[in-house]
Copies of this chain bind each other. A is one copy, B any other.
Amino acid sequence: MADGEKKKRTPGPIDPDNREVPDRRGAPDGTAGRRRGRPRRLDPQAIVATARRIIDEEGVDALSMRRVAREVGSTPMALYTYVRDKDELLLLTLAGTSTALPRPQLPEDPRDRMIAVAVHMHGLIRRMPWVLKVLVRGDVTDKKALWMAEEIIECALARGLGEAQAVHAYRTLWHFVYGDLVFTAARDQRAAEPDRRPSFTALLTGQDAAELPRLTELAPRWEELQRYDVEEQLTAIVDGLLSRARPPR
């Protein structure tokens, strides 16, 4: 990094919100908004749409710059006019995904509302597990998903949490939802390929009974005991978080 201080700006970034890109149609005199230089041959939206489809159908691992290029009828390097690198393309696929499920009717009571939003958040991603693997790489980039944060924070404030506490409550709920989905997905995958390493209970030998008596006892029933209703867990967490409110006066 001795002399590499000049950063290349991505020349034609893609608008993550899928709005019309100005793209050579501007004022009638043809100057304002007109792109300079060689006209585009590729459709930026098509690039992202293709990427999204590949991920959706075959998983994140199936996504490659070469594959997208092939499918949009171009060469790998042409894509780099539109995205800085593969990571950026991945993030762009997130936009608009939060509208997959219609925004639900929410209860009026702040506590119940908070739980309902968290459950919705969970259900949304449960339906599109690929989103999980992309989300690790950065923050939420889908503006249409922000209403959920807004709602949860608003509810927390309504129940007497401070501003910081309310933001923390949102994060805590999100972190749980995320973690839960990751492990649910891992379990589903393990179930899909049997003979693969089994759940940890198989590791327990007779010698462990002394050190891990409770686990040893529960091991045979672990699979069923493990299953929970996310809503119940979210309810418990929300109640725990709300119990930190300073008493209303």
Binding site for B on A (CB under 8 A): 7, 88, 91, 136-141, 143, 146-147, 149-150, 153-154, 157, 163-164, 167-168, 171-172, 174-180, 182-183, 186, 190, 195, 197, 199-200, 203-204, 208, 211-215, 218, 221-222, 225-226, 228, 232-233, 236-241, 243-244
State A237–B243 Cα separation when bound (angstroms).
10
Contact call B175/A180, Cβ cutoff below 8 A: yes
Contact call A182/B172, Cβ cutoff below 8 A: no
- Please pick, from B143, B153, B225, B233, the residue contacting A203 in the complex, using a CB distance under 8 A: B143
State A87–B68 Cα separation when bound (angstroms).
26
- Please pick, from B167, B195, B215, B226, the residue contacting A225 in the complex, using a CB distance under 8 A: B167
* Complex: chain B residue closest to A203, CB-CB: B143
Q: What chain B residues lie within 8 Å of A176 (beta carbons)?
A: 172, 175-176, 179, 237
Besides A233-B241, A237-B241, 7 more A-B contacts (Cβ < 8 Å) are A136-B182, A139-B199, A146-B200, A163-B221, A175-B179, A175-B182, A236-B241
Contact call A137/B186, Cβ cutoff below 8 A: yes
A-B contacts, 5 listed (Cβ < 8 Å): A136-B186, A168-B232, A171-B228, A236-B241, A237-B237
Known contacts A143-B208, A179-B177, A186-B138; A236/B172 CB under 8 A: yes
State A228–B204 Cα separation when bound (angstroms).
36
- Please pick, from B88, B91, B212, B243, the residue contacting A146 in the complex, using a CB distance under 8 A: B212
Q: What chain B residues lie within 8 Å of A143 (beta carbons)?
A: 203, 208
Known contacts A149-B215, A214-B150, A243-B236; A139/B179 CB under 8 A: no
